Amino acid sequence: MGKKLLIVESPAKAKTIQKYLGKDFIVKASMGHVIDLPENEFGVDIEKDFKPKYVTIKGKDKILKEIKKAAKESEEVYLATDPDREGEAISWHIANALKRIKKDGIYRVRFHEITKKAITEAVKNPDKIDENKVYAQQARRILDRIVGYTISPLLSKRFKKALSAGRVQSVALRLICDREEEIRKFVPKEYWTVEALFKKDEGTFQGKLHSVNGKKLGKFDIPDEKSANELVNKAKEASFKVTRVERKERKRKPLPPFITSTLQQEASKRFGFPAKLTMQIAQQLYEGIDLGNERVGLITYMRTDSTRVSEEAVKEARKFIKEKLGSNYLPQKRRSYESKAPKSAQDAHEAIRPTSVFRTPDSVKNYLTPEQFKLYDLIWRRFVASQMKDAVFDTVSVDIEGNGLTFRATGSTLREEGFLKVYPIDFEEKLLPELKEGEGIELQEVKGVQHFTEPPPRYTEGTLVKALEEQGVGRPSTYATIISNIIQRGYVEKEKQKLKPTELGEFINSILKKLFPKVVDVKFTASVEEELDKIEEGRKNWRELLKEFYFGEFKGLLENAEKELKKLKGEEIGRNCPECGSPLIKIHGRYGAFIACSNYPECKYKESLKEEPEKTGETCPECGGELVIKKGRYGRFIACSNYPECTYTAPISYGKCPKCGEGEVVERRSKKGRKFYGCSRYPECDYVSSKPPGGKK
């Protein structure tokens, strides 16, 4: 019997699967896509019904040659790339490349976890390539190519700077810029609350003014200090008694197991992981980890929109809960969760879960990196908790009334921890003394507390993922790439884990909003995703979508943009040219932004763009001048404000290096411009981190 060839995407996955299938199989890795649209040309013939031109990706010739050679020597070929649109397209391209040498015996196999059982079952039950999935991927790829290869050159040519616009990344950039605009325009509004401290026997408890003369207070009903003081004085004159005591049982249900987006959000919130890092670690856990005497995929496929879980996995979870935690943590019936996802490729998968709940995080900890352990522990706990009992709280709400004022006090205690035993969530137990209706209560202290409304916060990677998902923009599998792209291109930067648009990012966003409103329109981009889902379900032709997009409005916008960009010189800054009196404008050029005369080329006046340096509050050790933070080619640094008279500079230090204990942790920039933190003794000490280990000095 001849050999069989199985093709996957990554070497790590190939290594794991080879151990399961044994010597009858050759397992090869394609290293992702091997065939795609050309890198240096448009590659789409719009006039010939959007016919794509596919070529072997640069550097992948050798891989494709090895796959062809192995296929020629094998009786059967199994295409086992990822079970999503991209995986389907990779299999389709490889199958087409093998047609000349292998007319039959090519099969598609799919699995959602890398375990021996899942792999052998998949090979026993091969399938065909799903062409609708391929068409959906092809349509998405061509749409992205149309936007990227038409708008980006226009911007780069006009502003003599390598600028780019992506179909989905431009919408993500718009959300970040719109939020920044909201923050800038935000005007804080003052409001007050009245808070009291009551005494019962030896204990005290707090209450907050809830209503006046029976009318419930709104947020802004106490607008200023004068109004608050009037109520405070009224309270001081009153005799208080308990008018209502209400006791309730409150249940808290466990959260569903993770999908791609919720995993990215929770890892960002708990560990500060960027979406890209979360997906990289999840990929490693999925593809296989060496556990001493075996290599196994620890989690199911990590690109999924579905909270659905197999019956077998639920049975195993319930067995684990009963045996290891106790029957009192196990609900009578299995829990199931409704998927909010569209009926698309990702919804065909299960939720992200451990391949075996009996493989506890502690049992594999020694084989995992700290980051791998954190993520596996999070996934494991979330899945086990999703099949456990509700947490039960006893809550009490008390109204205390006097002189027309009603203060409300609330308390809660945990009665049954339920799923919280495995998946703790922050909550505060608040005890109230035993109170009865009609009894008198002593007021110990009362005061007015001033508050101001706050602007909406900047997005973190996690909250941006949540916003994109809620708006229906992109797919969870693409969020990590979208966010890393806009950071890498200098359109967005991170400030204390928050995403802030750069000046360049806001400039690009303003141009796209003006010239390509549909491209950055959130609802329109979400509707395109729905159309792609229709293609995948066989309810729409892929060429039809491309025609609607290109000829419907985009082509006209493109032609108009060329004319408008010629007129667009820059942003007026509110000053006139000192030489000719014409308005001065800010221009984004090849080497950054500068100020120039709008009357160019008649007037050639220009000046550098001066930024107000950030003050450190410290003095220069050499001349006594003020030290400020400046931006240089390799990141931010400390310098003397008396430059060029004084040339003192120093790196920004974030404390002693935790690895060598001798050097300082300083801010640095990679070749691609990304900020990171490393030891000042490099290369003697190779400590690096994506975030500072301590507070800034």
List the catalytic residues.
301
Number of Cβ atoms within 10 Å of the Cβ of 513: 16
* CB-based contacts of 438, cutoff 8 Å, min separation 6: 241, 242, 243
- Compute the chain's Rg from CA coordinates: 31
- Residue 512 identity (one-letter amino acid): L
Element (H, E) at 118: helix 116-124
Instruction: Give the β-pairing of 391-402 and 240-252.
Output: antiparallel
Place of tokens 């149309």: 146
The secondary structure of 176-201 as a DSSP string is HHHHHHHHHH----EEEEEEEEEEET
Q: Tokens representing 521?
A: 């329109």
User: Three-state DSSP class for 362?
Assistant: helix
- Indicate left, alpha or beta for 437 from its phi (over 0: left) and psi (-120 to 50: alpha): beta
Residue 184 vs residues 173, 191, 454, 464: alpha-carbon distances, Å: 17, 21, 12, 19
332: Cβ–Cβ under 8 A, 6 or more apart, which residues? none
Q: Which pair of structure tokens corresponds to residue 203?
A: 């204990």
| Burial environment of residue 277 by CB neighbours within 10 A (0 to 12, 13 to 18, 19 or more) | buried
d(CA 631, CA 633): 7
CA distances from 432 to 200, 203, 210, 268, 416 (A): 10, 9, 17, 35, 19
For residue 640, list its beta bridge partners. Answer: 627
SS3 readout for 381-411: HHHHHCCCCCEEEEEEEEEEEECCEEEEEEE
Q: Are 231 and 212 in contact (CB under 8 A)?
A: yes
556: Cβ contacts below 8 Å, ≥ 6 apart: none
